Each structure stands twice: as C-alpha cells, then as structure tokens.
Structure 1
Amino acid sequence: MKPIFSHSKQDTSLQALTNVYFDLVCKHSSIIKKVLAEQGDATIAEYIAHYPLPLGNGCQKKDDFYEIVYDYLLPIHGESIARRTVMDLSMTPVALTANHHGVDFFAQSVQGTFLFSLILSFMNPTQSTIPVIACANVPLNNLTFPRGMLLYHTAKNDCAGMPQKMPLFSDKLKTSYVSLVGPIDRDQVKRAIDRNGKLITQGELLPEYGNVLHDILETDYAQTVSQGWQSYSEQSVVLNHRLWKRMFSNSDMPLDLVYMDLEAIVSRLLIKDLADASSLIHRLMFDPDIAGDLISNLDGAPACWQGKKLDLRLMEDCSNNGVKKALANCGTHFFWGVGLKNKLIPMVLEGRSSGQLRLKGKDEHGKIYTLPFAPLSVIDALKNGGLLPSLFTCYTSISLARGIGCIGGYYQSEYLPRMQQGIINVLAKHSSMKEICSQTEKVPTGCYLSGMQAVMTKAGEDYLIPAGPIEIIARGGLNKEDISKIKQLTIKEAHLASLFETIPDIVPFPERYSKWSRDVSMFCHALLRDKIPLV
C-alpha cells in the first residue's frame, strides 16, 4: 500500500498516514516499537528526566578502564579534557556507543549525541564532557559516511537525493576501515576546497552552505593536518570536538564532545585482561570447557559469528563475487585479522579437539592467516596491529566485565542483551563461575538512544528534512531558545523527524514504499513545522 498525502487532511489523518511508516520501522526494530508504545507521548524533557542510566558493576573494577581512557585522550586532547572525562566517567560511568567513528556529519548520530548531552547534564550538573565510544571497524562508505561530509540542504531540494555526499578520501579507499586508514592529508583538503568552490560556481551548492564547508576545511581540517596525526581515527577525535563547538551559539552547550575509538580502547584493555587468568574475557576465551560452549551458544547471534559461513570461507574461493555475497556477514570468532591493504579478515577458532588452538582466516585473494590462540600470541598481535577485537569482545570487556554503561542504538539494544545471555548460559553451567555469572547478569544492557532528531531544515515550501552540522552551523548554531523548544517535542515526534534516516538504515530496500522520502518529508512539514527548531 502506498500512502497518499493531501494538504487538506487534518492532523489526525496525517498521524494515521505516518503510522504506516512507523509500523514499517517497528516491524524491523523491537526497541523502537517498545519505546513508541511506552513513551511516545512523553516530551523529550520528561524522557530525559526519567532516562534509566545503565549504572551497575561487572565482575572487574573500572579503574584500569579510566587509566586507559586518560592515556588515550592525553596526547590527543591534552591534560584538561583527559582529566575531566575520567572524572565525569567515574561519577557517571556511562558512554554513548550508538555512533560510528569518523568525522560525524550524520544528522541522526549528531542529534542523538545532543540528546545524550542533555541527559548527562540533567543527571550530573557538574558534567563537562560527553563521552562517546564509537565503533571504528566500519568502512568509510557506510551509511554515516565517515569518508567525507554530508550536506542535507542542497540547491536542488531533491528529498530522494539527500544528503549530498562530499568525499575527502578517494574512491579507491571507500571500503577501507576507519580504524585502519591514514589521516586526511593536505592534498585531500585542497581538492575538497577546490571541489566545493566549483559546486558553488555551478549552482549545485548554495553559497551559505558552501562558505561554511570552505571555512571548516580551511580552518579545522587544515589545522589537524598540520598537527601531524598518525591516523584518521585520532584526527576524527579532534575534528568532532571542533565541529561540536561550532554547533552552539554563545556557549549554550559548554560540554566538550569527547570521541574515542572503541577498538583502540578495548585493545589496550585486552593487553591487561588476557594476561590475567581471573578476568572475564580470559575465562571465556581460554577455559576449554567454557570457550567451546560459548562459541556454540552464540553461533548465529547478531553481531557475533556464523560458524558454517566461517568454515565455508576457508574452503571457498572468496574472490568470487557470488561466494563473497553468500558468505557476507559471517562475523568472526572474537577477533578480526588485519590483512593486506588493511582489510579485515574473519577468523575461525580451530583445534579445540586437539588442544592446539589457533585463529585461522582467509582473505579474498586466498591468502591464509593463522595465529596460535594463546594469551601471549594474541597480546603480541594486538600490539603490532595484526588483530582487532570484535564487537563481542569489545562489549564483553567494557560493559559486561566492568559495568561501563553502554547506551547504544536500535541494533546494540538487541544484540548486547543477547551476548550477555549467551555468556550467562555458559557460566551458569559451572559452579566455580557462580559469582561471576551473577555479577555479569546484573549489568544493565539494552539501553537505547537513537532514531530521534529534533532539528530540521526546509527543502522547498512543503518539505522538512533532518539538519546536519553544516545546516546548524550556517544558521549560527543552536541557542537556549532552540534547546527549550527541543525539550517540548514528544518522543514520537522526534522519531518522525528521524524516519528520513531510520528507514534506509533498517528497512530493506524492497520493503520501502515508492517515494517514501517525499512522503516522510511532507509529513514532517505538516506536523512539525511549528514545533521543531528550523535552521
């Protein structure tokens, strides 16, 4: 059924039409369905005031996590931000983990970060930082487009063509991973500035936004180039902090945005944990009775691994496109191998029957990678960049072992509880693991903060679309009046404003209605134009 929109319809009719799209999204996300059913009519202010922060304790202390966060941030942000971030985390040990790493121009994650900042400020008036621990094992061309910049308000006002992508990394690097790619260099910045100027001249980019892009490139990007960062991951931490400051007028959002690379933080934690036989991750990986049971229990679970596909990868020709497609999303056992040209390789844990454990994987060119699966060899591989931790390993180390509250998006809110349950199922079988099992079970998971937006921009007379950093900065930044207005929106209205990006993220292409983006943009204009801050 294709929804039909008419300007003459009353709000109740419009709400009924938007429900068609909400039903479509809820079909693919149980957490969105739950939040809309239970809190859809609550205002953002009410949502913030009653948000259940995932505060708890795992079976390990948090002190080493704080030390590693400090050591990670010190060379990037300096002593003040590193110290304040650790102080904030020690008082409120939660972090936003819904975002992908890279320079963030994706409206949904940027505005989700803003909502997280409001929650932190409400819960802790002395809070001065916004800790975001972002997954960096993502390709540059993923939906959030860390490959470059996103511009939502384009000269053509074509809803179906938004956001407009403004790449900085070359096309040949588009499948490279944020965690492994080198920094943006001076030549890339210069090419982006030249391209930006041409788009303005050709009328494909409105000057008010082109000028903002030019200033960001010439000031923020150029300065990070001169600072000589060794990786795009580190450079992104600095650029996200600078862009965040630009998004608010008159210091109305004084908190510092502090991005951290999830895999980089966890790799440092693992060097400690794998050397400690009493740590949760060491027991799960190297106790022979527990490890095999765990791999079986979580086989096929989201964000974990699929054993049959992993085994087939070792036998099939992975350079064949058909095979590659059939075996996609196979996951990996605990770690990703890092192969030629920094490609991630799914790894299989072999040798359980013989006791000669090893991680084994094959790249798309047929090259085999093997590594003895023992604490010291894994530690060495983490140190030299030969391995990167999987999502399972990352969240087990931070959330389940240490009780750091991880507030995620609609995917994490489903896969992290499943990981937790898989671990509990295995530990419960061993009387010696009773206390650890009980502590792991008490860690709060399933926390959701995504799929909501509260700032939009016009795209023609009858359309509203999400606003990203460029649109917000061009308007002069958000002020106190805007923030007050945002707090009066309902949770359902915030989800409606974000459907423009939620639908392509979670609804398979064949299930999307024809001209869905036009419909959603029209509904947003009709229902939200007088309620939502417009930039």
Structure 2
Amino acid sequence: MHARSEVKPVLESDSLDLAHVLAQVRARSPVIQRALDQHGSISLVDYLGRMLSICDDPPQPRHDLLEAVHRSVLPLLGETVAEKAAQELQALPAILTAHHHGVDFQAQSVQTSLIFSLRAVGGKPATTVPVFACGNIALNNPTYPRGLLLYHPDRQGTEFKLPIKLPIFPDRGKRRSVSLVAPYDNGLIACAEKRFKTMTASQSVSPALAAAVESILREDYRNEAILGLKSYSQQAVVLNNRIWKRCFREPDNAPEMIFLELEQITNMLLQADLHNEDSLIWQVMFNPTIRTRVLNQLDGARACWDRSKMTQRLLRAHQTIPDPGSCGTLFFWGVCDNGYRIPLLLTGATDRTATLQGRDDRGQAWSFTFRPADILEGLRAGRLLPSLFTCYTAIGFARGISCCGGYFQAHYLSVMQQALIRVFNETAGCAEWAERLSLVPSNLYLSGMQTVMHGLDDQLLLPAGPVEMIASGGLSRKQLEKIRSLTVQDAHLASLMDTLPDILPPGERPDRWHPRLAQANNRLLRERVVVI
C-alpha cells in the first residue's frame, strides 16, 4: 500500500478539457495544426505511409553515410545489426532526429521511436529503428540524459510533478555536453542505487516501478561490457538498444534500436566533405559568396545563429556569461576545458584570416582557424562540435536523408532549406544545387505523439516511458496492433503532458495542470490508447 498522499486531490469538476488544451497548443504550433488538419483522423500507420517522403536523387551520394553508420554500429552492437542498419537505410533513407543523445527515458521521445518502428521498409516490417540523436546538449537538458525518468508523482511532495528524476551523473558535471561526457562507472551506479533505496523507502514510487529500476541498474547499467566502453556516448548506444528490447513482451522479435550520436556521424562525413570542393558543406563554408549569403539569410533563425548577440558576447571579456545556447553558433561549437559549449562567431576579412572566435561562460577567449585541416583537427581533438545546421546540411540536405523530427524541427529545418535554395538560386552557376536541394523533404513531423499510458489509482492516466513499460511486463503483440490503429488526433491528446510545457509559456498554462490533465486523460483516453 502507498503512504497517504500529501498532494492535493483533484476533483472531477476540476479536470481539464483535453480538446481545449489541444486547441491552445495548435494555435501556438503551425506544425501541429497542419498535421491535425490534414491527418488527424487517420491511423498512425497510414500517417507514416503518407508522411515518409523520400528524395530519390540527392545532391551527393549516400554510400559514405551508410558506411559511417556501419562503422559506428559494428563495435557496439555487432556485425548482424550493423548490416541490418545499413541495408534498411539504403532501402528507406529516413531517420529519427527528434531525439537528444544519452540513455533515453523520456516518454515522448521513446514513444516517437515506437511509432517510427511501425514503418515498412521495402514492403516489409522494419527491423531497425535508426535514430541520430543530438549530443551537444547538456546532461541536465529537459530530456534528462543525466539519468532515469519515472512517470510517477512523488506522493510525499507538496506538488504533483512529473517525472521523478534519478540521476546517474553527479550534479557538478550537469552542464557538460553529452558528446564529451566520460563513461559512468560502478561507483556512480552505486550512488544511484543508494539514492533510489531512499526513494523506495519513502514509497515515492510503486513496487513494480522500483523492481524495474533496480533490474535496469543491475542488469543493464552494470553490464561489464558497457562499463568498459570509452565514453557515455558509446554506453548510451548499447544501453538504449538493451532497454528498448525490454519494453516488449517478445524482446527477440523487437526491431533493433540504432541510437547514434548525430555529431559523430557528421564528423565522419566531414572528413571527406571538407576536402571536397564539390560538396555542399565546402560550398557553404568556403565559397565566400555563398557563405556570406547563407550567414545573412539565417541570421536570427531558430537553431542557427544570432550574430548581434554573439558579437556582444565577444565584448564581455573576463565576465561570467550565462546560457551559451541563446545566441546559437556559426557552423561549429567550441568546447572549453570543462566540456561546456562555446558559441563561435566567424571573424576576419578574407579566407586567410577567417577565424572562429568565442568566449566561454567565464569570459575566456577562444579561437579556431577557419581552414579545413584545422577544423578537422579540432573535431578529432574534441575541441569543436558541429552545429545543428552543419549536421543537417551534411546528412539531410547533402545526402537527401529524410530527417523525421518534432514540432520545432519540422519548422526550422524548412527555414534552413529555403534559405539555402534562395542562396544557390542567387549565385551564378548554382541553379542545379538549388533544384536538387528542393527535392529533399524537410518538414517531416513525428514527435509530439504518444500511444501508451499507465494508470494510477484508477483516476489518473500518465505518460509511460521505458521504466513503466518494463514494469508492466512489456508491450504485447495485441497492444502493438492497437498502437498501429490509434489515430493521429488521439496520439496528440495522449502526448499533451509533454507537449504542453514545450508549447505554452508558464503564464498560459492552467493552474495545477499536471494532475488535472492526468484526470482528463483518464476520463477521455482510457479506452482509446494502450493502458499498461
């Protein structure tokens, strides 16, 4: 039995109207509005078939990307999985890019993978789930790559909050970029286990969830082969594959989770692109006319750069400078000694004097010569990380890979694409580049939908992440079939617990919206979604 909750109860009359909340979200997100207007009444499987458009004639060949995927997967998941990943990407060049790197416990993220796993490849069910996840985010990013997430309210707290966080990595390193985090060890797992025992002693989580967490820490995190890997980025690849399979009642029949770091795949492609004047990346970075026009076109755009803010940051010598992500960066992030990101501004009047310059959060100046060989050396040394723009240009635009993302990406990726098309159309001799870029899909939206929820006290319906799925015994074939037939509209309703705080600013969110939304979920969705 649970200890008596100190959280204020929710009355039936106090619950929210899900349709009204979704209408608020739609009004704030053109991407969600368009998806629901055009596809809201169809099944998720039908939506996948309509949404997954493919570029048949990419600006650059894809063979090197397939090789990069094979090389990345082989030492971590084995030859068979590496072959499957490369073959399915060749047959259907589409990946998930809505995710952040690290071990994935976020309900919306994992359930996006679940929906994507239902796609067909060459007329047959997919056997892999290719995810290229952003690694230049911090450990304490909202997706919480720092540790585990449990979608269960803390019954001893004064507020109803989701999810409960169980950190693996210590607080002192929470701002380090996931790309650069050293591997966790047995000592960190022991600390997490000790912390979790305190949580279970106070009955903050249910016995079933507690057993699932203890099993994940003991059997997966403490796996000797995983402990021996050289970085957290590599550990996350293997852990995501193992934990994903445990979410299914028949794990041997589950598709392989291929959770790779976006920046590492980009680094492998840049080894050739930065020495190839015929590559899209080389033209964008080192053709002065094209580069100037691209920098102007995307100045101030989301996920790109704001040169005015970056210039102001450069002027703040020896001062504490918070929030490096607020101004974006040009082509690459710098990485300082503590593993934090540094926004970089391109300075210099000519290509010979071009330099990437920036200041870290302590006001210390950093500079990197903007030449291909020096950039590649900075990437190899871990002093540079490719920006989102660089990653999407090398992978999505250059090689015509369909990048399926969330409600933000489906907008900003289209903005990037249209800017590149305008630039190449305006540049003499580059019309063919513009034409071929226009064939690459850029508005593919998949995140923002969920299909699996878990009930609490027969009154509340909450999101379900991997821990909840594992605690239930895993998803059955019957449940997976139900997921396939769920409508796009209902999947958006089921995801509001995660979507609402992304879309609506704090002042526009209803009071005590977590418990009220959970009760509204229970009233409207219990018979529609998969409840575990």
Structure 1 counterpart of 2:39, one-letter code: Q
Structure 2 counterpart of 1:508, one-letter code: P
Separation in 1, partners of 2:318, 2:524: 49
Partner of 2:435: 438
Partner of 1:22: 22
Structure 1 counterpart of 2:214, one-letter code: H
Separation in 1, partners of 2:317, 2:167: 32
CA contact (8 A) 1:157 1:460 kept: no
Task: Map residues 267-416 of structure 1 onto 2, 5 A cutoff.
Answer: 267-317=267-317, 319-320=319-320, 324=322, 329-352=326-349, 356-416=353-413
Query: How far apart are residue 500 of structure 1 and its match?
Result: 0.2
Partner of 1:490: 487
Query: How far apart are residue 467 of structure 1 and its match?
Result: 0.8
Q: List structure 1 runs of 4+ shifted beyond 6 angstroms.
A: none
Query: How far apart are residue 469 of structure 1 and its match?
Result: 0.7
Structure 2 counterpart of 1:132, one-letter code: V
Partner of 1:181: 181
Query: How far apart are residue 400 of structure 1 and its match?
Result: 0.5
Query: How far apart are residue 212 of structure 1 and its match?
Result: 1.1
For structure 1, the 5+ residue unaligned runs are none
CA contact (8 A) 1:103 1:236 kept: yes
CA contact (8 A) 1:252 1:478 kept: no
1:471/1:243 CA distance change after superposition, 3 Å: same
SS in 1 for 2:124: coil
SS in 2 for 1:399: helix
Partner of 1:191: 191
SS in 1 for 2:132: strand
Query: How far apart are residue 355 of structure 1 and its match?
Result: 5.1
Partner of 2:84: 84
1:124/1:368 CA distance change after superposition, 3 Å: farther
Q: CA RMSD in A?
A: 2.1
Partner of 1:532: 529
1:530/1:277 CA distance change after superposition, 3 Å: same
Partner of 2:7: none
Separation in 1, partners of 2:153, 2:468: 10
SS in 1 for 2:445: coil
CA contact (8 A) 2:453 2:462 kept: yes
CA contact (8 A) 2:96 2:131 kept: yes
Query: How far apart are residue 82 of structure 1 and its match?
Result: 0.9
Task: Map residues 11-90 of structure 1 onto 2, 5 A cutoff.
Answer: 17-90=17-90
Query: How far apart are residue 153 of structure 1 and its match?
Result: 2.5
SS in 2 for 1:464: strand
Separation in 1, partners of 2:294, 2:318: 27
CA contact (8 A) 1:101 1:135 kept: yes
SS in 1 for 2:175: coil
Partner of 1:448: 445
CA contact (8 A) 1:252 1:480 kept: no
Separation in 1, partners of 2:99, 2:275: 30
Percent of aligned positions with the same letter in both sequences?
38
Q: Structure 2-normalised TM-score?
A: 0.94
1:434-455 superposed Cα distances (whole Å, 9 cap, x missing partner): 1112111111111000111111
Query: How far apart are residue 505 of structure 1 and its match?
Result: 2.0
Query: How far apart are residue 72 of structure 1 and its match?
Result: 1.3
Query: How far apart are residue 293 of structure 1 and its match?
Result: 1.3
1:481-519 superposed Cα distances (whole Å, 9 cap, x missing partner): 111222232211111111001111232212212122222
CA contact (8 A) 1:106 1:144 kept: yes
CA contact (8 A) 1:148 1:166 kept: yes
Structure 2 counterpart of 1:87, one-letter code: Q
SS in 2 for 1:27: helix
Partner of 2:473: 476
Structure 2 counterpart of 1:418, one-letter code: V
1:149-196 superposed Cα distances (whole Å, 9 cap, x missing partner): 001134629883111001111011111111111111110111112222
- Residues 1:140 and 2:139 are matched in the alignment: yes
1:263/1:318 CA distance change after superposition, 3 Å: farther
1:286-318 superposed Cα distances (whole Å, 9 cap, x missing partner): 011111111011101110000100111100257
Query: How far apart are residue 27 of structure 1 and its match?
Result: 2.9
Separation in 1, partners of 2:370, 2:97: 28
Separation in 1, partners of 2:336, 2:514: 39
Partner of 2:505: 508
SS in 2 for 1:179: helix
SS in 2 for 1:249: coil
Structure 1 counterpart of 2:385, one-letter code: L
1:293/1:479 CA distance change after superposition, 3 Å: same
**Equivalenced residues, count:** 522
For structure 2, the 5+ residue unaligned runs are 1-9
CA contact (8 A) 1:181 1:232 kept: yes
SS in 2 for 1:146: coil
Q: Structure 1-normalised TM-score?
A: 0.93
Partner of 1:105: 105
Separation in 1, partners of 2:176, 2:27: 32
CA contact (8 A) 1:59 1:440 kept: yes
Structure 1 counterpart of 2:269, one-letter code: L
CA contact (8 A) 2:155 2:204 kept: yes
Structure 2 counterpart of 1:186, one-letter code: N
Separation in 1, partners of 2:439, 2:156: 49
Range with greater deviation from structure 2 (112-121 or 91-100)? 112-121
CA contact (8 A) 1:185 1:225 kept: no
CA contact (8 A) 2:490 2:528 kept: no
SS in 2 for 1:41: coil
Structure 1 counterpart of 2:308, one-letter code: K
Separation in 1, partners of 2:389, 2:492: 28
Separation in 1, partners of 2:63, 2:276: 15
Structure 2 counterpart of 1:429, one-letter code: E
Range with greater deviation from structure 2 (223-232 or 234-243)? 223-232
Separation in 1, partners of 2:417, 2:474: 40
